[in-house]
Structure 1
Amino acid sequence: MRILSLALQNFKSHEDAFFEFEPGINAICGENGAGKTSILEAIAWVLFDYCPYNQEELIRTGANDAVATVQFISQWDQRTYDVRRSVSQGYRLFDPQLKQRLDYERKADVLAWLRQHLGVPAGTDLARLFATTIGVPQGTFTADFLKTSRERKEVFDRILKVEEYQQVAKDLLAVEKYSEAQVLAVKHQIELLDQQMQDWDPLQVEQQRIEQELRHWQERLSHHTHTLAEVKLELERLEKLLAQIQTLDQQIAQL
């Protein structure tokens, strides 16, 4: 996700301010009390529901309401969205491409929508994520390194997504075992094929012998088939001659 701009109306010391952010690192400079920290606090309040004090304290002195609007590019669908939040009216989500307001009224629904577009897992505590990972207070950048090993682990494991990598490692272990089993099966198949290949030359010789013998018997079959046809013709001729003899025998007997 990339934040494009921030608009403030009566937010702490800012009466009406607009800030644009370039890709990469942005440095915010100004004298003490100029409202530098308020910029980060506004982003934290709008996108992460993080506010270290009462929301009424966000309202500029003499005003009735404080409004902050953040425009960002979604990590989820790479589209641009506006998230507006005011102390009195709550959240309003807007799609500038479609030029229409998104139908999210309840704070829980808005935070679920924000988690999706921020690219963090569902159920993530956004306020805690900002307080311990993103919005490091002035003078405490190295404070986490001074904590106990257990406390450091809780902070840095969440930053480095150690649990996700551990889960991926477990999933890959199952894939590795499956791959090893497949490799062993393929090696076994190759060994069987190698053994069969060793018998290939004798089998070819035997095939050639059988083919030659088959051609020999086919030739003999063809010869005998031709002889059988000649014998059948001779048999038919003799049968006709026999019939003629029988007819003559009957005539002689009558005479």
Structure 2
Amino acid sequence: MIFTKLTLKNFKSHKDSVIDFKPGISIIVGENGAGKSSILDGISFALFKQFNGKINDLVRITKNKNSHELMSVSLEFISNGKEYIVNRTRGSTSKAELIVKDSDGGSTRISSGDSSVNNEIQTILEMDGELFLNAIYIQQGEIANLISKTPSEKKKLIGRLLGVESLEKAWKNSLPLINIYENQKSELDGRTASSLDLNNDLKNKKIILEEIKIKGNSIEKEIKELEQLKSLKANEKIRNGKI
């Protein structure tokens, strides 16, 4: 994913800011309170509507506190060779849309609404908002906080920043399912082994049955031959007048 342009209107300290990201590494420099962190907050808000606190806290404070300023964030980015624009606005209601630029210079809206846009971006980027925040975006002050920690505290903090705690929790939650799978697998293996034994036994019995059939045919043939021989002997005796 490559960011190309971010537009902030009435977003936190930004009244009307346009940030063009040139190819390469971008460095944001400014005094405290100048709005550096707000740029990263704007990117996070645009992609996944991720923010801390209340959404009204994102709207720039004006002199007329009773006025309802329209807050909007627009982010242009490239992913897998395609150019996208995500727009989010906050006025009396919230609106969101995701647009893809066409090769002929036009554009097509591919989704609208917060949930639909979030799901579409998650599919495009192959990550959700939590992974984006944990793996890419580190909150202001967390690096300085990391330096002052003990080794064990650093390990815990890094684990939280990278989402390791969530992975460990997911792993623990999956253990009962894994145990069920292993038990079912063992049971199926036992059934398979028993089935193989039965098949082998059946094959052996079929072989024995075939051998018995062959022996039976041979005995039946011998009986017929003996009956024929007996009949010949009886006829011979009659001809000789012995009976």
Task: Give the TM-score taking structure 1 as reference length.
Answer: 0.53
1:175 paired to 2:181: yes
Structure with greater proportional helix content: 1
Distance 1:189 1:56, change over 3 A: closer
d(CA) in 2 for partners of 1:103 and 1:13? Answer: 25
Distance 1:206 1:8, change over 3 A: same
* 8 Å contact from structure 1 (residues 133, 155) kept in 2: no
Question: 1:138 corresponds to which residue?
Answer: 140
CA drift of 1:138 comes to 3.4
1:85 paired to 2:84: no
1:17 paired to 2:19: yes
d(CA) in 2 for partners of 1:201 and 1:155? Answer: 67
Q: Give the letter for the 1:5 counterpart.
A: T
Distance 1:165 1:134, change over 3 A: same
d(CA) in 1 for partners of 2:79 and 2:112? Answer: 17
Q: Give the letter for the 2:108 counterpart.
A: K
Distance 1:4 1:130, change over 3 A: closer
Q: Give the letter for the 1:164 counterpart.
A: A
1:191 paired to 2:192: no
1:8 paired to 2:14: no
d(CA) in 1 for partners of 2:95 and 2:205? Answer: 79
CA drift of 1:9 comes to 4.6
Distance 1:115 1:155, change over 3 A: farther
SS in 1 for 2:73: strand
d(CA) in 2 for partners of 1:56 and 1:190? Answer: 71
Distance 1:154 1:58, change over 3 A: farther
1:48 paired to 2:53: no
Q: Give the letter for the 2:97 counterpart.
A: L
Structure 1 segments unaligned to the other structure (5+ residues): 105-109, 224-255
Task: Give the TM-score taking structure 2 as reference length.
Answer: 0.55
d(CA) in 2 for partners of 1:162 and 1:114? Answer: 29
CA drift of 1:93 comes to 0.4
Structure 2 segments unaligned to the other structure (5+ residues): 63-68, 229-243
* 8 Å contact from structure 2 (residues 85, 99) kept in 1: yes
* 8 Å contact from structure 1 (residues 68, 85) kept in 2: yes
1:68 paired to 2:112: no
d(CA) in 2 for partners of 1:196 and 1:101? Answer: 62
CA RMSD of aligned residues (A): 4.9
1:161 paired to 2:138: no
Question: 1:236 corresponds to which residue?
Answer: none
Q: Give the letter for the 1:94 counterpart.
A: L
Distance 1:102 1:179, change over 3 A: closer
Provide Cα deviations, 1:42-68, integer angstroms capped at 9, x if missing partner: 112323341568333388xxxx76542
Question: 1:99 corresponds to which residue?
Answer: 108
d(CA) in 1 for partners of 2:158 and 2:183? Answer: 30
d(CA) in 2 for partners of 1:73 and 1:219? Answer: 95
d(CA) in 1 for partners of 2:74 and 2:213? Answer: 85
SS in 1 for 2:171: helix
**Which one has a bigger Cα radius of gyration?**
1
CA drift of 1:92 comes to 3.3
CA drift of 1:180 comes to 0.8
Structure with greater proportional strand content: 2
SS in 2 for 1:161: helix
Q: Give the letter for the 2:142 counterpart.
A: T
d(CA) in 2 for partners of 1:29 and 1:153? Answer: 23
Distance 1:153 1:56, change over 3 A: closer
Provide Cα deviations, 1:73-102, integer angstroms capped at 9, x if missing partner: 789xx9865321345474330333562474
Question: 1:32 corresponds to which residue?
Answer: 30
